[in-house]
Amino acid sequence: MPEYTGYFGSSTADQIVVNKKFFQGNSFTIIAWVYWPSGTNLASPGTSNGDLGYAWSGPAATDEGFGLFSRGDHWYLNFYGDDLECSSGPVAGRWYQFGASWNNSTKLQEIWVNGVVNCSRTSGGTLVTGEPLYIGSGAGTWDGGAYMDGYIANIQLYNISLSPSEIQALYQEGIGGAPVDLQHLVAWWPLNGNANDYSGNGNNGQINGVTFVSNWWSGYTPP
């Protein structure tokens, strides 16, 4: 189990920047554990775009890019202008395993919540951005007013669309679980006191205004 997790406050200045162009048209899965504290208004958080989430990438000054967040109280994947929005969303005050995948062969987009598909669709778009990965804040991207305002733990990024059984296995491992597919693992940021990449690929993040706290277990119930 982790001893710490990253806390990202209600400011676009609080973020981790990974200076690598990950989304270049290839299949991917990105998944993490996220927690919005009790009392957080997920339907209308007060940012310029009404978003609270953990991952962004994409050119500034356009309405295109990649993002994973709660928008209007729904799980949401921004996918280069060809977006996926679920009919349900998170509740503040509990941990979620939250992520998304895209298969560049089948064109299938999926949003994963607690080990299962929450919503999906096929997409004719291909996500290709020349921007870094921004964790915890949209500052510097197309969604520049958005921020996490909560906790993030155990981010894993793969260059493949993981199978349902693999996603379920990650969920069953719990908040401190190890990656399930080392061959296709691109980066692993446990956020256990730092923003280092534990995949061995050297994709370490630059920390800006993020604190690491030891009360990560607040609200967490193991699967």
- pLDDT of 115-148, one tens digit each? 999 999 998 878 888 889 999 998 888 888 889 9
Return the pLDDT at 49: 56
Rg (CA), the chain: 15
The number of C-alpha atoms within 13 Å of 174 and in the hemisphere containing its C-beta is: 9
The number of C-alpha atoms within 13 Å of 81 and in the hemisphere containing its C-beta is: 9
CATH of 5-213, one of 3.10.180.10, 2.102.10.10, 3.40.228.10, 2.60.120.200: 2.60.120.200
Return the pLDDT at 10: 85
Residue 173 main-chain phi, psi, to 5 deg? -65, -25
Return the pLDDT at 45: 58
- Mean per-residue pLDDT for 2-25? 91
Please check the confidence at residue 46 and state whether its pLDDT lies above 60: no
For 126-159, give one letter per residue: b (16+ CB within 10 A) or e: ebebebbbbbbbbbbbbbbebbbbbbbbbbbbbb
